[in-house]
Amino acid sequence: MTQSTPAIRLHRATKVFPDASGGSFTAMRNVTLDVAPGEFVTVVGPTGCGKSTTLSLVSGLEPASAGAVEVGGVPVTAIPRNVGYMFQQDAVLPWRTVSDNVGLGLRYRGASKSDARSRSQDWIERVGLAGFEKYYPHQLSGGMRKRVALAQTLITEPEIILMDEPFGALDVQTRELMQAELLRLWAGTGAAVVFVTHDLTEAIALADRVVVMTAAPATVKTIVEVDLPRPRDVDEIRLQPAFLRLYRAVWQSLREEVEIARQKGASRG
Amino acid sequence: MTQSTPAIRLHRATKVFPDASGGSFTAMRNVTLDVAPGEFVTVVGPTGCGKSTTLSLVSGLEPASAGAVEVGGVPVTAIPRNVGYMFQQDAVLPWRTVSDNVGLGLRYRGASKSDARSRSQDWIERVGLAGFEKYYPHQLSGGMRKRVALAQTLITEPEIILMDEPFGALDVQTRELMQAELLRLWAGTGAAVVFVTHDLTEAIALADRVVVMTAAPATVKTIVEVDLPRPRDVDEIRLQPAFLRLYRAVWQSLREEVEIARQKGASRG
Amino acid sequence: AKDSAEQPVSIKIMVGGLDKVIYLPAKLTEQLGYFKEAGVDVSLLSEPSGAQAETVMLAGEVDGVVGFYDHTVDLQAKDKCVTSVVQFADVPGEAEMVAADKAATLTSAKDFTGRKLGVTSPGSSTDFLTRGLAVRNGVDPSKYTTVKAGAGSTFLAAIDNGGIDAGMTTDPTIAKLTNTGKAKVLVDMRTKEGTRAALGGLYPGSSLYMPCDFVAAHKQTIQKMANAFVRTLAFINTHSAAEIAAKMPTDFAGSEPKLYEQAINDSKGMFTADGLMPADGPKTVLDVLKASNEAVKAKADKIDLKRTFTTEFVKAAH
Amino acid sequence: MAELVLTETPVLRAVRGPRRLRVHLTRLALVALWLGSWELASTYWIDPFFYSKPSAIWHKLVVWFTEGTASGSVWAQISVTLQEAVWGFVLGAVTGVVMGVLLGRARFLADVLAPFIKAANAIPRIVLASLFVIWFGLGMSSKVATAFVLVFFGVFFNAFQGAREVSKVVDDNARILGASRWQLLGTVVLPSATSWILASLHTAFGFALIGAIVGEYAGADKGLGLLIAQSQGAFDAPGIYAAMIITTVLALLAESVLTVVERRLTRWQPRQT
Amino acid sequence: MAELVLTETPVLRAVRGPRRLRVHLTRLALVALWLGSWELASTYWIDPFFYSKPSAIWHKLVVWFTEGTASGSVWAQISVTLQEAVWGFVLGAVTGVVMGVLLGRARFLADVLAPFIKAANAIPRIVLASLFVIWFGLGMSSKVATAFVLVFFGVFFNAFQGAREVSKVVDDNARILGASRWQLLGTVVLPSATSWILASLHTAFGFALIGAIVGEYAGADKGLGLLIAQSQGAFDAPGIYAAMIITTVLALLAESVLTVVERRLTRWQPRQT
Ligand SMILES: Nc1ncnc2c1ncn2[C@@H]1O[C@H](COP(=O)(O)OP(=O)(O)OP(=O)(O)O)[C@@H](O)[C@H]1O
Ligand SMILES: Nc1ncnc2c1ncn2[C@@H]1O[C@H](COP(=O)(O)OP(=O)(O)OP(=O)(O)O)[C@@H](O)[C@H]1O
Ligand SMILES: [Mg+2]
Ligand SMILES: [Mg+2]
């Protein structure tokens, strides 16, 4: 893979779902987006516009209806190697303890039990779940389950990291800790990250580029380059004037889309 | 019910769960809180502290291990009448369409099919899901499912409204629209609301009082009275100096708790 | 294998209902210890359906079957050679029973038309006999309904609740029915006279038969076994029903030992004293089967009755 | 293991056509292979007296359908057995679902009755069949009863477990929304247990047929069970196999009806790829 | 309906003790009521010749256990039948789970084979039992085979459906985390299908016993099936019922073992209240 090959390439990617009444529903239309290796891209867009669908195309879990989806220069037909995907829904294994869930990816990759255990212990501490190693998911709170999923995804050190609203269920402070943790990890590895969020502060604070998507069917509306210096202190950065300018730009762009989405919804109804 | 009877009364309510290794885990300890009819209380606290547990005690789904839980002056032994509870997890019926899901509470209360349908149609439009009436939950995005749950809960016009991070998965604008919708509905009915959120802006903008909970086991740490005038425009209110003062108070209180939570976690590990 | 080279073998015999009185000599021989004394190792198995027992034998799973002689004729019509080695009974030991409330209108086999007649199972000896009776009395078998009524309790229940008008069965069912007055004997084939009157000759029933090639290959062993059986038949002839019943396992008597004893008493007469095939028996069987069995009817001319039984062993046992 | 295509690459709609064809062709090939080798084996190596052969079975079927059987037209036999099986199936399935769902939701009743139901399930049905003949007579009811006891238990245990596996949060949600006990059963428990119940129904009709035939075995004047008994009595292996084939075809027909019902009832689920 | 306590008010741990006692007492009362009315009825109204009576059955059991049966010690009969049933159960359950899970995940194979398996499921087992004697001989194997075919289908269909009901997002997650096919089967499909498989195993051992007994019916020199056949021939109603009771007790014992296993395997689930 030469330096110029994007880690992720979407070219006019389109996704059509069969619709409730036998017709079809276009969730994504002609989405074109390249993510370079080592780049951190955040995605914002009106609810229900097609953000999760975009991630599922990149992950290889759903095939595109039309257009090209490539990871590492190779068209996606199955799940690409070294992809990490943290789902929007609860996706940890209900029959595994926290410790086993976090170590799962390592075990799948052939790590020994004790090796997986010690490395997962480290991650459990990083996400602040020490003491809950032996708990089953149903014994955890929503935010704790999210953090298990986070550790589960990052422990395998994927080259492509897809995250779908990972920090939505966390309190402000924990969220900032997790953001810092994520940035630290990412800076070390040069992984390409696509990060979906509804929190614009988060979107700008973390990203190299913020992608604003249109209301369904999703296309790329604007891409806002975030030229803030790294390493960033997420807590402080949002007081800088450059940040506020970016915030307003993204906010404005998004607001238009939400309006469109609502009007569409109303006209459909 | 006289005016002085609180709509919800928790007195030294304690909840102990059996723990993973056969011991027990105290999720709430001696939580004492009264919510008056027509009062809007928001609850913030570190992730995993016991907020959802508190709601489940009030809803009658889980019995308290000790202490008193009363709704409308009556000890809670089963699900009290006229309670609405929007869960943190996805809880809509997967085998019902959006339209049927929203109308469910009405149908349970004996409304005719056509009546339920027309009233649910109204609510579907309010939450911006017009056009998706015939979709099944698995065909919706995470944020759309949340909005279905919202409509489902509010359509029955409950006197006690319990909401567990209802707007966490929505984009900023949609979230504001939903907040406004909720306030409008609540203002008309005089329902008591307990609203869990991680978004401090939201917590303050909506509330009469913000309850800050301690790290697990949850107790009430501080209660911040929000003396901002109503009706409030959520979008504008957060620029007022009074708001910023309140924000800082809550933030400070919460930050301490998160620190404690992290240290506890680390010492347990 | 030649006789001289023959190895002593252990014999497996499938009995078409170990507990049925008509097959009593099998278990009795074992109980009396005659097999051991004769120097053969015989194990008895049970299988309620005669045809199934034979299929198992032909498949080589057992060496002999205690069942009705008529099946050897039936099987020959299907190109399988099976030969009766010891003939336990020279009459079927069956009776056509008519339900008490039908006895007034159903007085002989001539009245079979339009009736529901019970047999243990279609294709069994009871079925052959019923058809034979009908044909001899001028009733075409298609004019009545054959009902699978089983034996024992199910048969009793069928008579009781009108499931069948009449039916062919053995002791102790016959005894039970007559004792309780629920049914009467219409045609009695438990005695020589009755059988002759019904079928025009003796109809040998209960017997031990084996595949022809097995018999040819194991003459010494079979001789020993025949010795044991002939001893048993003599024992039956010289002892009272009570003495015989005392030798049998208590379980066989069920909950009513008296009934069992009575059944043995009623059926004792049908056993041969010497294990010999009655002279006119095979021909009666062939006649009955010609009328009642499609396969036999089709090959009636080709059937060689001599191959269906042998008296070689029982004669030598004298 | 090359055949074990785990559902990794979701298949597009358009691919369905040829895929279907491939499925049918493979099935056909399997049947042909099986019948061919059977015919060959029974002609040259094994004794058709025991194992019969396809051509003889086919001939038997032709005779039955054109000339009828010893106990009358083959359609009469089929219709008797089918009626018994359908009744047993319907009664057993309905009772099984109702009792399973009710006990699945009523802890105390379930705790009390569980050992009895489990014990009843262990009673050898073949013995029951002859007891039923004694209790209910030789008519249709004894066969329906036999079919019933075979159908009931499978359906019951699945409905029971299905009623217990209802997602807790969905159940809680419905109760908060004001569902009464019965509404909860109808709108949450039953739909959620549907896949469980359907899974058990797939085996149930087969069991109903078995029940009817076992019942006929224990005593009857008509039906496929009688045909089998007759064929066994007459050493007529082709007859045995022919009756078995008719039974099988009946079961497959019932199965296809069930599949249509299933598709309607599980419309809400994500389509499996 | 007063009894139908839907699981509305979660029960605290402390209430368990007396609740358990109440369950046991109610059970006991039911058994006493049932036996008492049976004894009474058969003494005064119904014919014990057909229906037997508890005291006679008890007496029969005493005789069997002290003096033995016609074919030897009753323990020998039990051990023979139990061995056949256990083998049939183990083989049937293992094959059913393995095939069910594999086919549940392999669409093409499943599509091709489904009609065959459904057809096989409709074959009347009683006929099979007599065919098995011919194919496998009179020894234990033919009974094991009969038990096998009775166990297999129930387990198979449940394992199959269980493998299909795996939560899509959990499955996706495991695949993203790098699970190979086999790892996916072991860590996701099997655990998720566990309740399905366990539900089918609850009926399966009963079926295995039935299979063993039907097999013994088709020809045997030992076993509970033979005891039943013998009792039937001897009009010995107490014998029939006594043998049935022994079978039932065996099934209940197996059931209690299964319950222990079940509790271990489903430890991860929220405790049901
Ligand atoms: N299986 C499906 N069948 C039909 N429509 C679907 C299906 N899956 C998703 N959709 C539709 O596709 C659209 C986009 O869904 P998606 O989950 O990608 O949204 P999203 O941007 O992630 O929204 P959110 O922010 O709420 O999570 C939605 O309108 C949804 O209804
Ligand atoms: N069934 C259970 N068994 C054991 N512990 C439990 C159980 N349910 C909850 N807990 C524990 O109780 C604590 C509080 O959980 P709760 O869900 O109330 O948290 P929360 O405040 O809602 O957190 P979040 O903001 O992440 O949703 C957690 O530490 C959790 O591990
Ligand atoms: Mg999404
Ligand atoms: Mg919570």
Q: Residue D100 is inside which H or E element, if any?
A: helix D74-105
DSSP class of A80: P
Q: How many angstroms does the Cα of residue B52 sit away from the middle of ligand 2?
A: 7
User: Is A232 among the domain residues?
Assistant: no
Nearest Cα residue in chain D from A60? D9
Average pLDDT, chain C: 83
Atom number of ligand 2 nearest to Cα A140: 31
Examine the domain organization and report whether B138 and B95 are in the same domain.
yes
Residues B95 and B149 in one domain: yes
Q: What is the pLDDT of residue A3?
A: 55
Residue from the list C47, C250, C252 with its beta carbon closest to the beta carbon of E219: C47
Q: Is the CB of A46 under 6 A from ligand 1?
A: no
- Which CATH number belongs to the domain containing residue B207 in this structure? 3.40.50.300
pLDDT tier at B13 (50, 70, 90 boundaries)? very high
Does B5 contact ligand 2 (Cβ within 6 A)? no
Tell me the residues surrounding ligand 4 (ion) with CB < 5 Å: A 141-142; B 52, 88
Residues B142 and B179 in one domain: no
* Same domain, residue pair B61 and B178: yes
Q: At what angle do helices E125-136 and D237-265 cross, to 10 degrees?
A: 130
Look at chain C and count its residues. Answer: 318
Verify whether ligand 1 is closer than 6 Å to residue A17 (CB atom).
yes
Question: What spacing in Å lies between the alpha carbon of A88 and ligand 3's midpoint?
Answer: 6
Cβ–Cβ < 8 Å for C76, C302 = no
Residue D29 falls within a domain, yes or no?
Answer: no
D167: in domain: yes
Q: Total structural domains in chain A? A: 2
| Per-residue model confidence as pLDDT tens digits over D58-85 | 988 888 888 877 777 888 889 999 999 9
Mean pLDDT, rounded, for E132-150: 85
> What is the mean pLDDT of the segment spanning B194-215?
92
Domain that holds residue E223: 41-264
Domain-located, residue D211:
yes
Q: Where are the beta strands (DSSP E) in chain A?
A: 8-18, 24-35, 40-44, 66-71, 74-75, 83-86, 160-164, 192-196, 209-213, 220-225
Q: Domain limits at B129?
A: 90-157
Contacts of E271 in chain B (CB under 8 A): 18
Q: How far apart are CA C282 and CA C306, in angstroms?
A: 9
* Prediction ipTM score: 0.84
Do residue B69 and residue B94 come from a single domain? no
> Are both B219 and B119 inside the same structural domain?
no
CB of B228 within 8 Å of any CB in chain A? no
pLDDT for D11: 36
What average pLDDT is seen over chain A? 88
User: Are the beta carbons of C254 and E239 closer than 8 angstroms?
Assistant: yes
* pLDDT for residue D6 is more than 70: no
Q: B269 pLDDT exceeds 60?
A: no
* Shared domain check, A162 and A66: yes
Chain D environment of C78 (Cβ under 8 Å) = 49, 235
Q: Which residue in this structure is represented by tokens 């038990």?
A: E147
Question: Which of C1, C40, C20, C22 is CA-nearest to residue C317?
Answer: C40
- B76 belongs to a structural domain: yes
User: Does ligand 2 lie within 6 Å of residue A141's CB atom?
Assistant: yes
Rg of the Cα atoms in chain C:
19
> Would the CB of B88 count as within 6 Å of ligand 2?
yes
What is the CB neighbour count within 10 angstroms for residue C154? 26
Ligand number nearest to the C-alpha of B43: 2
Sorting pLDDT into bands at 50, 70 and 90, what band is A42?
Answer: very high
Q: Pick the residue whose CA is nearest to atom 14 on ligand 2.
A: B50
Hey, what are C260's tokens?
Answer: 């069992």
The residue whose CB lies within 8 Å of the most ligand 1 atoms, and thus the one to mutate among A21, A49, A194, A262, is A49
pLDDT of residue E15: 43
Cβ within 8 Å, pair D153-E206: yes
Closest chain E residue to A100, measured at CA: E187
A17 at the B interface (CB within 8 A)? yes
Instruction: Tell me which chain D residues have a C-beta less than 8 angstroms from the C-beta of C79.
Output: 49
A50 CB near ligand 1 (under 6 Å): yes
Residue B106: per-residue pLDDT: 93
If you measure from the C-alpha of residue B27 to the centroid of ligand 4, how many angstroms do you get, rounded to a whole number? 11
- pLDDT at residue E87 is higher than 90: yes
Distance between alpha carbon C310 and the CA centroid of its chain, in Å?
17
| Residue that finishes a domain, picked among B157, B182, B213 | B157
Of D8, D10, D271, the CB nearest to A62: D10
Task: Determine the length of chain A.
Answer: 269
For β-strands A209-213 and A220-225, DSSP reports them as antiparallel
Q: Render pLDDT for D142-183 as a digit per residue (tens, 0 to 9).
A: 889 999 998 998 899 899 989 988 888 999 999 999 999 889
| Same structural domain, A78 and A193 | yes
Whose CA is closest to atom 3 on ligand 1? B139
| Shortest Cα–Cα distance, A89 to chain B (Å) | 8
* Contact: E219, C250; criterion CB under 8 Å: no
Contact residues on chain E for B79, CB-CB shorter than 8 A: 8
Rounded to whole angstroms, the Cα distance separating C146 from C129 reads 12
Single out the residue in A107, A130, A157 at which a domain terminates: A157
E179 CB neighbours in chain A (<8 A) are 108
Contacts of A262 in chain B (CB under 8 A): 128, 177
HSE (side-chain half, CA atoms, 13 Å) at E233: 25
Across the interface, do B128 and A254 touch by the CB < 8 Å criterion?
no
Looking at the structure of chain D, the number of domains it has is 1
Q: Which amino acid is at D88?
A: G
Q: Residue E25 to residues D96, D112, E30, E89: CA-CA distances in angstroms?
A: 26, 9, 9, 32
Atom 12 of ligand 2, residue of closest alpha carbon = B27
**Do B168 and B113 fall into the same domain?**
no
Q: What is the CATH number of the domain that holds D216?
A: 1.10.3720.10
φ/ψ of B12, rounded to 5, equals 50, 40
**D25 occurs within a structural domain:** no
Both B219 and B166 in one domain: the answer is yes
CB E233 within 8 A of CB D148: no
The answer to whether residue B180 sits within a structural domain is: yes
Is C78 in contact with D50 (Cβ distance < 8 A)? no
Q: B12 in helix, strand or coil?
A: strand
Residue A41 CA, ligand 3 centroid: distance in Å: 16
* C174-206 tens-digit pLDDT: 888 888 888 888 888 888 888 888 888 888 888
Atom of ligand 2 at shortest distance to CA of B19?
4
**What value does the mean pLDDT take over residues E215-219?**
78
Residue A110 CB partners (closer than 8 Å, separation 6+): none
What is the bridge-based pairing of β-strands B209-213 and B40-44?
parallel
For A52-79, what is the mean pLDDT?
Answer: 92
Q: Which residues surround ligand 3, an ion (CB under 5 A)?
A: A 52, 88; B 141-142
Q: Is residue D101 part of a domain?
A: yes
DSSP at C8: P
Whether residues B59 and B107 fall in one domain:
no
CA dihedral A86, A90, A94, A97 (to 10 degrees): 50
Of A224-233, C175-184, D17-26, E25-34, the least confident: D17-26
Residue of A nearest to E190 (CA): A95
Which of C62, C80, C120, C153 should be substituted to probe chain E, the one whose Cβ sees the most E Cβ atoms within 10 Å?
Answer: C153
- Domain final residue, candidates A192, A209, A226: A226
Residue A86 to residue A166: CA distance in whole angstroms: 7
Q: Report the DSSP beta bridge partners of residue D268.
A: none
Is residue A217 reached through a cis peptide bond, with omega within 30 degrees of 0 on the bond before it? yes
Window D:9-38, CB contacts with A under 8 Å: 9-10, 12-13
Min Cα distance B249 → chain D (Å) is: 35
Residue A95 and residue A135 share a domain: yes
pLDDT-based confidence at residue E4 (cuts at 50, 70, 90): very low
**Beta pairing partners, C146:** C117
- Asked whether B32 lines ligand 2 (CB < 6 A), one says no
Contact E219 C176 (CB under 8 A): no
Q: What's the pLDDT score for residue A16?
A: 92
On whether the CB atoms of residues D181 and D247 are closer than 8 A, the answer is: no
Q: Measure B62 CA to nearest chain E CA, in Å.
A: 7
Closest atom of ligand 2 to CA, residue B20: 4
CA of B50 from ligand 2 middle (Å) equals: 5
For residue B147, pLDDT over 80 is answered with: yes
- The C-alpha atoms of residue B11 and residue B34 are separated, in whole angstroms, by 8
Mutation to probe ligand 2, out of B28, B44, B51 (largest number of atoms < 8 A from CB): B51
Task: Please identify among residues 181-220 of chain A the ones whose CB lies closer than 8 Å to any CB of chain B.
Answer: 198-200
User: Using alpha carbons only, what angle is made at residue C55 by residues C54 and C58, rounded to the nearest 5 degrees?
Assistant: 85
Chains that touch D (3 or more CB pairs under 8 A): A, B, C, E
Determine, for residues A94 and E177 on separate chains, whether the beta-carbon distance falls below 8 Å.
Answer: no
Q: Model-level pTM?
A: 0.85
What would the DSSP string read from start to end of A200-241? Answer: HHHHHHH-SEEEEEPSSSB-EEEEEE----SS--HHHHTTSH
Q: What is the pLDDT of residues C109-146, one digit of tens each?
A: 788 888 888 888 877 888 888 888 888 888 888 888 88
What is the pLDDT, as a whole number, of residue A98?
94
CA distance A233 to chain E (A): 30
pLDDT exceeds 80 at position B116: yes
Q: Name the D residues in 161-180 with CB < 8 Å from any B CB.
A: 169-170, 172-180
B226 Cβ below 6 A of ligand 2: no
